[in-house]
Amino acid sequence: MPHIAIDYTANLADDLATLGLPQKLHEAAQTIGVFPVSGLRTFARAIDHYHVGANTKSEAFINIQIRIAPGRPEELRQRIVDTLFASAEQTLATLIEKRPVGLQLEITEFDRSLTRMAGNLPTT
């Protein structure tokens, strides 16, 4: 773990393609030093059907959801959030300067009793 999922309004697709947000968040997660590289998964997807704010064509939104295994102390979860949010803000700074964009990042823990995994991709 973690899984880093980036959802964004499709009107940002061209802008985000050049900024490399998934790669930068993936690399930032590695710098924290608590996640096994083989367990890190980062992906992004454009949301085609959306309404943001006054529903103008220029308003956009990026939601970053980080899911981690349970049991990490609050201080570590805070450091994860702060590190990844700083990376996202830095990566998106020029984009946010030129158009209305909302950015949200949240971390949640997997519920061990309600999570199932399979496959042969290493996680540790």
Give pLDDT tens digits for 15-65: 999 999 999 999 999 999 999 888 899 999 999 999 998 888 889 999 999
CA distances from 103 to 33, 61, 79, 92, 93 (A): 25, 6, 18, 9, 11
Tell me if 88 is assigned to some domain.
Answer: yes
Tell me if 81 is assigned to some domain.
Answer: yes
Q: Which domain holds residue 93?
A: 76-111
Tell me if 56 is assigned to some domain.
Answer: no
Tell me if 94 is assigned to some domain.
Answer: yes
pLDDT in tens, 78-99: 999 999 999 999 999 999 999 9
Is residue 123 scored above 70 in pLDDT?
no
Q: Whole-prediction pTM value?
A: 0.90
| 57/110 Cα distance (integer angstroms) | 35
